[in-house]
Amino acid sequence: MLDLNQMALFVQVVQAGSFAEASRRLGMPPTTLSRQVAQLEDSLQARLLQRTTRKLTLTDAGRTLFDQSAAQIATLQDAASALAGKDQTPKGHVRVAAPSGFFDYFLMDWVAEFLAAHPAVQLEFVLSDGMADVIGEGIDVAFRGSGELPDSSLVARKVTSSYLALAASPAYLAARGTPQTIADLTTHDCICPAHTGGHGTWNLNSPDGPVQVPVKGRLGASTGQAQRQAAESGLGICLLPINALRDSLRDGTLVEVLPGVASAPAGLFVVYPSRRHVPRAVTAFVEMAVQRLMAVI
């Protein structure tokens, strides 16, 4: 007979992304977790997880078991918590993944207010413009500029809508001229992401419909904040969400170029590892963050 406790621990390990992270969340030694999962594998006569020193990977059997049991385990845990009158006070460690420029518009004062209101919660921010591996890195919630989900087990919620815009400094435009058409961009210095080697393709809107424009420049940067600062310094034309440019456009540090041609939809999404059994600390932080962001973006 299968041990339901071992099944629940297996689900917790998968959702945490590692034995170490699951150990932290559950307050249980990682060796105990590993032994329990190994015993479950012995009972099923199937390998559920491929273990490495850096991360865990589900086998086909493990993915099938997780997909078919996670919701049921969560339901049992919810029922047990309700019957036990579990304390609903937010508490625990919340690991947040966000773009590198997140704190350009998300004020640290908001974080301080949240932590003061919830003294049993700890926050950890992982900032990168790369797409975090939510499961593998033990992320509780991720803020992304896209709702695309490479892992079907993830859940995305759209927080805000925005659009993209082209911008450059007055000094750059005075020296190089202001582009009058989309085709003119091919003769300008365009600030591209760092991994493109100074070349890129921008998806823009021409009078005849969507068009892909090959662009190049002498400077690339891996973050939106750095790209904006490069444009402010006169190093070229940047393509960024209007929210990231609004202050610079307002004070005249940047000027919008070819208004409307880059109005591809953009936005901010909240991504969870799972829809079910989200910790109260995570829910409380997201509720605060969404409320604040919707007021400023």
From the list 129, 127, 158, 167, the residue with the least C-alpha distance to 266 is: 158
The residue-averaged pLDDT of 242-264 equals 88
**In the prediction, which pLDDT does 209 show?**
83
Q: Are residues 189 and 50 in the same domain?
A: no
Give the domain-ending residue among 84, 109, 130: 84
Q: Are residues 229 and 239 in the same domain?
A: yes
Q: Are residues 187 and 241 in the same domain?
A: yes
DSSP letter string, 135-152: TTTT-SEEEES----SST
Greater confidence (243 vs 248) lies with 248
Cα separation of 277 and 21, whole Å? 17
**In the prediction, which pLDDT does 82 show?**
57
With a threshold of 0.85, does the pTM exceed it?
no
With vertex at residue 121, the alpha carbon angle to CA 104 and CA 98, rounded to the nearest 5 degrees, is: 30
The residue-averaged pLDDT of 116-123 equals 94
Q: Cβ distance 208 to 181 under 8 Å? A: no
Q: Are residues 167 and 261 in the same domain?
A: yes
**In the prediction, which pLDDT does 1 show?**
64
**In the prediction, which pLDDT does 146 show?**
60
Q: Are residues 271 and 290 in the same domain?
A: yes
The residue-averaged pLDDT of 24-43 equals 86
Q: In the predicted model, is pLDDT for residue 84 greater than 80?
A: no
Where would I find the H helices in 53-185? Answer: 60-84, 108-117, 170-176
Q: Are residues 170 and 255 in the same domain?
A: yes
**In the prediction, which pLDDT does 81 show?**
62
Q: Are residues 220 and 136 in the same domain?
A: no
Q: Are residues 107 and 190 in the same domain?
A: no
Q: Are residues 114 and 242 in the same domain?
A: no
**In the prediction, which pLDDT does 267 show?**
66
Question: Considering its fold, how many domains does the chain have in total?
Answer: 3
We report the CATH number of the domain holding residue 132 as 3.40.190.10
Q: In the predicted model, is pLDDT for residue 196 greater than 70?
A: no
Q: In the predicted model, is pLDDT for residue 147 greater than 60?
A: no
**In the prediction, which pLDDT does 241 show?**
81
**In the prediction, which pLDDT does 53 show?**
54
Burial label, 249 (beta-carbon count in 10 A; 0-12, 13-18, 19+)? middle
Give the domain-ending residue among 84, 103, 129: 84
> pLDDT band at 181, cuts 50/70/90?
very high
What H or E segment, with its residue span, contains residue 24?
Answer: helix 19-26
Domain that holds residue 39: 4-84
Q: Are residues 207 and 285 in the same domain?
A: no
Q: Are residues 111 and 173 in the same domain?
A: no
**In the prediction, which pLDDT does 95 show?**
93
Q: Are residues 153 and 281 in the same domain?
A: yes
